[in-house]
Amino acid sequence: MTAEVDYYELLEVERTADDATIKSSYRKLAMRYHPDKNPGCGDSEARFKAISQAYDCLKDPQKRAAYDRSGHEAFHNGGMGGGGGQGGGFSDIGDIFESIFGSGFGGGGGRQQARRGADLRYDMEIGLDEAFHGKTAEIRIDVSQTCDPCAGSGAEPGTGTRRCTLCGGHGKVRAQQGFVLVERTCPTCHGRGEVIEKPCRSCGGEGRVDKPQTLEVTIPAGVDDGNRIRLSGKGEAGPFGAPPGDLYIFLHIRRHKVFERDGTTLITRVPISFTTAALGGEIEIPGLDGERLAITIPAGIQSGKQLRKRGAGMPVLQGRGRGDLVIEIGVETPTKLTARQKELLRELQETETGDECPQSKGFFERIKEAWSDLTEYLRSMLPGRRRLKGMPFQVVSHYSTALLASPASSP
């Protein structure tokens, strides 16, 4: 983009355009080609500089009149100057920033409001019983709070504030860097637009001090691990009387000795003797509500089977009802038997027909069928179709291993 391109063409307006039309077109093009919106693009940066130079000329009535008479020559060889000068043309660039970033950035925007205090986090560990019933707990934290002597103003009682002389009370200062006007928070008043005449001795002029605070926290029944409780306005106090932040209580549930949890469902694993599993019976489990739960064990139950007790789980958080209790059965094989017990078990074993344990019987029948299929296959594949009938297991295993290790031979 050269400096000799017609200014009206650069701004995409007619030569008869009024000031408002020229300004509107300039703002639209400046936002389109601004370096912040086109990082690393040299063409956009050059175009932005050119349209800024064109607008600097056409927005001034005297410069525009000279340009209309003589074009670019009006600013060459000792002419009016300033058409492409480094120091001019940016009185309205605040309008660009205001359009791009909002009214808080440019255009003379007002003093910066004091920022809200920071939110805080507190981690609390509770037991599953406490999560079941809910509780009220007290916590003690050190947190920034509003300074009492100055009531958060930061000024010594009896004194006040005055307008900042550096920014003139605007809270922001501008500095031109090349073709860009940079606007920053005033380093003296930190955006407030005013400075404290005499800082408070208690808080050093910040309007807040760190001190311990005791808070009461209500934990509702049914909370789960990772739930959080928000205490509005109990976070860090804002500087210079700004509103405080919030305090978030993050809950962590300790591992229980008996129960595990999945949402509102409680899970427990109960070992029973193999005689109870075979004959059936009844067991009792203490619930988290303090009641004893009677669980009926059906005869012939298998290890891993799950029984469900409706409505005996965790409460629904901020709702009605409770989840379920799931009991996972584990059949325990006895490891310490008396002589009499062993004798009784041998008598039982002698009366077994195989129908008592259908799963075991079915499994060994499938093994027998698989072995029969294997021997039939090997009979058809071995050289000379040798007969395997009556061969010992070791012989069949030897032949099958040799067959699988070598390519198949034709009979």
155 DSSP assignment = B
pLDDT of 307 > 60? The answer is yes
pLDDT of 341 > 50? The answer is yes
The answer for residues whose C-beta is within 8 angstroms of residue 16's C-beta and 6 or more apart is: none
Average pLDDT, the chain: 80
Query: What does the pLDDT look like over 396-405, one tens digit per residue?
Result: 555 555 555 5
Give the 3-state secondary structure of residue 146.
strand
**Most confidently modeled range among 69-83, 221-235, 381-395:** 221-235
pLDDT of 311 > 50? The answer is yes
CA-closest candidate to residue 293, choices 326, 315, 261: 326
pLDDT of 390 > 70? The answer is no
pLDDT of 349 > 70? The answer is yes
The pLDDT score that the predictor gives to residue 174 is 81
106 and 27 Cβ atoms separated by less than 8 Å: no
pLDDT of 82 > 50? The answer is no
CA-closest candidate to residue 263, choices 278, 250, 253, 273: 253
Cα(21)–Cα(58) distance, rounded to whole angstroms? 11
Instruction: Find the range with the poorest average confidence among 182-196, 221-235, 353-367, 374-388.
Output: 374-388
**Most confidently modeled range among 77-91, 163-177, 189-203, 324-338:** 324-338
CA-closest candidate to residue 57, choices 33, 16, 85: 85
Q: Kindly indicate the confidence band of residue 128, based on its pLDDT and cuts at 50, 70 and 90.
A: very high
Amino acid at 327: I
- Domains belonging to the chain, first-starting first, are 7-101 (1.10.287.110), 120-160+197-253 (2.60.260.20), 260-332 (2.60.260.20), 358-405 (no CATH)
% residues pLDDT > 70 (the chain): 79
Q: Name all contacts of 23-29 with Cβ < 8 Å and 24+ positions apart.
A: 23/55, 23/59, 23/92, 23/95, 26/51, 26/54, 26/55, 26/59, 26/92, 27/92, 27/95, 27/96, 27/99
What tokens appear for 411 in the block?
Answer: 């009979």
Cα(118)–Cα(242) distance, rounded to whole angstroms? 11
144 and 236 Cβ atoms separated by less than 8 Å: yes
The pLDDT score that the predictor gives to residue 184 is 84
211 and 142 Cβ atoms separated by less than 8 Å: yes
8 and 15 Cβ atoms separated by less than 8 Å: yes
Cα(226)–Cα(123) distance, rounded to whole angstroms? 10
Cα(58)–Cα(19) distance, rounded to whole angstroms? 8
Instruction: Find the range with the poorest average confidence among 21-30, 39-48, 70-79, 284-293.
Output: 70-79
Query: What does the pLDDT look like over 131-161, one tens digit per residue?
Result: 999 999 999 998 888 888 888 888 888 888 8
Query: What does the pLDDT look like over 163-172, one tens digit per residue?
Result: 888 888 888 8
Sole residue written with tokens 């209309």: 68
The pLDDT score that the predictor gives to residue 256 is 94
% residues pLDDT > 90 (the chain): 32
344 and 365 Cβ atoms separated by less than 8 Å: no
The pLDDT score that the predictor gives to residue 114 is 62
Averaged pLDDT for residues 291-299: 93
Q: Angle at Cα 212 formed by Cα 210 and Cα 213, nearest 5°?
A: 115
